[in-house]
Amino acid sequence: MSLHSNQRVDSILDLIGSTPLIRLRAAEKRAGVKAEIWAKCEFENPGGSVKDRAARQMVLDALDDGRLGPDKILIDSTSGNTGVAYSMIGAALGIPIQLVMPANVSVARKNITTAYGTKIIYSSEMEGSDGAIHKAREIVAADPERYFFPDQYSNPSNWRAHYLGTGVEIIELLGERITHFATGIGTTGTIMGTGRRLKEYRPSIEVIAIQPDDALHGLEGLKHLASSIVPAIWQPEGVVDQMLEMPTDEAWDAADMLVREEALFIGHSAGANVAGAIRVAREAGDGAVVVTVLPDRGDRYFQPMKWERHYVW
């Protein structure tokens, strides 16, 4: 049951945020120490993912300062979840949306975004999210007056959504008990905004960034920074204490564990986050209170990018 239950709201945008924290006792058992592992259930957002927060902040900030108006089309690159969020918010506010996606994003994401009336422009599946970024920039450069390009990888409103929301909510629910925050990096907005807020609250909280261990990985939505365009909002100095590299198989195993032992059917980036939280808790030892994020649900991956167990990473 969502924390929004039994409330009256004026818009679907008002349902974004205030997601529950759930304790992951099966993950704690695997850590093998007397530590707590908690996860923010971002799949409870109305668009089904953590990206609802950033998309709402970027759109509302642009409406407030005039960058986005009635004569503009919102266009951005996305591997899926941000696109769903843009599409939902665009439908709610009457803003036309165009998205540049790699041609091999999951069928579920294609179907959801088009259901909202969004136009999809496909980039090469061989170039991944970076190819989508390049193509979006080319389209905007050719007709800059026609488009509003929020550029989620460079937009400070991305991380501000988590500074104003996610971080505050974690503090409200766990307060001074939290010792570690660990989450994966894609646009890096979640860790930059939440990490900044947690560090302001108590500098001793350790912030751990989780990234795939290889450029050829199966963790959709996460970035291997060494082989990718580094997001402009990625400014880890003073915020991120540690980088943790995550193999695809370890993340998939954690996702399987969560659905079978916690009844949490989540995506593979969430599996990476929980696998990372287990490692952090094990290393920190007794008394640690580790918080991570469950970015989305597993039903978005029923027909993913042909990622199967027999695939050679």
Q: Catalytic residue positions?
A: 51, 269
Sign of CA dihedral 170, 235, 99, 13: positive
Query: Nearest 5 degrees, angle CA 238-CA 242-CA 245?
Result: 140
Single-letter amino acid, residue 221:
G
Structure token pair of residue 239: 């915020």
Task: Give me the residues paired with residue 40 across strands.
Answer: 21, 293
Residue type, 47: G
